[in-house]
Amino acid sequence: MLKKLIPVKAHLKETLRRSIVKTVSYRIAMLIMDFTAIYLFTGQVKVALVFMVVSNIYATVGYFLHERIWDKILWGKILHDKAEKK
C-alpha cells in the first residue's frame, strides 16, 4: 500500500473512470453533509431531501467538469524523468 503513496517517476494522466469514481465518492460525502446541515437548521426531512437532491445535481456536474479541466492544465504538475535516480 505504501508503494501507491510514493510518487511515480512519470506523469500519469487521470482517466475518465477515475474522475467519475472521484466525483461519485465526493458527492456521496456532500449528500450526507448537505442533508445533515439542512435538517439541523430546519428540522424538516422533506426540506432537507429536496435541497440535497437539487443542489447535488448541479454540483456533481460542476465538480466533474472542474476535475476534467484541471487535469488538462499543466501548471503545478511535475513531470518526473523515468531515468531519475532515488
pLDDT value for 71: 86
Establish how many alpha carbons lie within 13 A of residue 40's alpha carbon, considering only the half-sphere containing its beta carbon: 6
Spans of the chain, pLDDT less than 50: none
Report how far residue 44's alpha carbon sits from residue 50's, in angstroms, rounded to the nearest whole number.
10
pLDDT value for 5: 59
CB atoms within 10 A of CB 29: 9
- Are 60 and 27 a contacting pair, CB within 8 Å? yes
Establish how many alpha carbons lie within 13 A of residue 44's alpha carbon, considering only the half-sphere containing its beta carbon: 5
pLDDT value for 38: 94
pTM value?
0.56
